Amino acid sequence: MSNALYSLTPEHEMIRNTARDFAQKEIAPIAAEFDESGEFPYETVKKMGEMGLMGIEVPEEYGGAGMDTLSYVLALEEICKVDAAHGVIMSVNNSLYCYGILRFGAEEQKKKFLTPIASGKSIGAYSLTEPMSGSDAGAMRSQARRDGDDYILNGRKSWVTSAPVAGYIVVFMLTDPEKKHRGITAFIVEADRPGFTRGKKEPKLGIRASATSEILFEDYRLPAANRLGEEGDGFKIAMTVLDAGRIGIASQALGISEAAYEASIAYAQEREAFGQKIGQFQGIGFKIADMKTRIEASRLLVYNAAMAKERSKTTGERFTLEASMAKLFAAETSMFCAHAAVQIHGGMGYSKELPIERYFRDAKITEIYEGTSEIQRLVIARNELGLK
Ligand code: COS
C-alpha 235 – ligand 1 centre gap (Å)? 7
C-alpha 324 – ligand 1 centre gap (Å)? 12
Q: What is the mean pLDDT of residues 300-318?
A: 97
Lowest mean per-residue pLDDT among 1-15, 92-106, 206-220, 357-371: 1-15
Indicate whether 343 pLDDT > 60: yes
78 belongs to the catalytic site: no
3-state secondary structure of 291: helix
C-alpha 285 – ligand 1 centre gap (Å)? 42
Q: How far apart are CA 388 and CA 382, in angstroms?
A: 6
Q: How far apart are CA 180 and CA 101, in angstroms?
A: 23
Q: Is the CB of 32 under 6 A from ligand 1?
A: no
Task: State pLDDT tens for residues 251-292.
Answer: 999 999 999 999 999 999 999 999 999 999 999 999 999 999
What is the pLDDT confidence band of residue 5, given thresholds at 50, 70 and 90?
Answer: confident
Residue 122 per-residue DSSP state: S
Q: Is the CB of 158 under 6 A from ligand 1?
A: no
Residue of 205, 206, 256 lying closest to 362 (CA atoms): 206
Residue of 219, 45, 26 lying closest to 125 (CA atoms): 45
The H or E element spanning position 227 is strand 227-228
* Mean pLDDT over each residue of the chain, to the nearest integer: 97
pTM above 0.75, yes or no: yes
Q: What is the mean pLDDT of residues 352-370?
A: 98
CA-246 nearest atom, ligand 1: 44
Task: State pLDDT tens for residues 159-218.
Answer: 999 999 999 999 999 999 999 999 999 999 999 999 999 999 999 999 999 999 999 999
Q: From the candidates 36, 370, 374, 384, give the one annotated as an active-site residue.
A: 370
Q: Whose CA is nearest to atom 27 of ligand 1?
A: 138
Instruction: Show the DSSP H helices in 23-138 as ranges.
Output: 31-37, 42-50, 69-82, 84-91, 99-104, 107-109, 115-118
Q: How far is CA 357 from CA 97, 270, 361, in A?
A: 30, 19, 6
Q: Is the CB of 379 under 6 A from ligand 1?
A: yes
Q: Is the dihedral of CA 280, 283, 289, 295 positive or negative?
A: negative
For residues 8 and 68, the answer to whether their CB atoms sit within 8 Å is no
Among left, alpha and beta (phi > 0; psi -120 to 50; other), residue 371 is left
Ligand 1 pocket test, candidate residues 239, 321, 365, 379, most atoms within 8 A of CB: 239
C-alpha 139 – ligand 1 centre gap (Å)? 11
Q: Is the CB of 137 under 6 A from ligand 1?
A: yes
Q: How far apart are CA 184 and CA 20, in angstroms?
A: 40
Q: What is the mean pLDDT of residues 326-333?
A: 99
pLDDT at position 6, please? 86
Q: Whose CA is nearest to atom 8 of ligand 1?
A: 239
Indicate whether 1 pLDDT > 80: no
Q: What is the mean pLDDT of residues 24-51?
A: 98
Pairing of strands 124-127, 168-174: parallel
Q: Is the CB of 182 under 6 A from ligand 1?
A: yes
Q: What is the mean pLDDT of residues 296-302?
A: 98
Q: Is the CB of 376 under 6 A from ligand 1?
A: no
Count of C-beta atoms within a 10 Å radius of residue 232: 16
Q: How far is CA 264 from CA 87, 121, 243, 276, 289, in A?
A: 22, 38, 32, 16, 11
pLDDT at position 4, please? 65
pLDDT at position 3, please? 59
Q: Is the CB of 116 under 6 A from ligand 1?
A: no
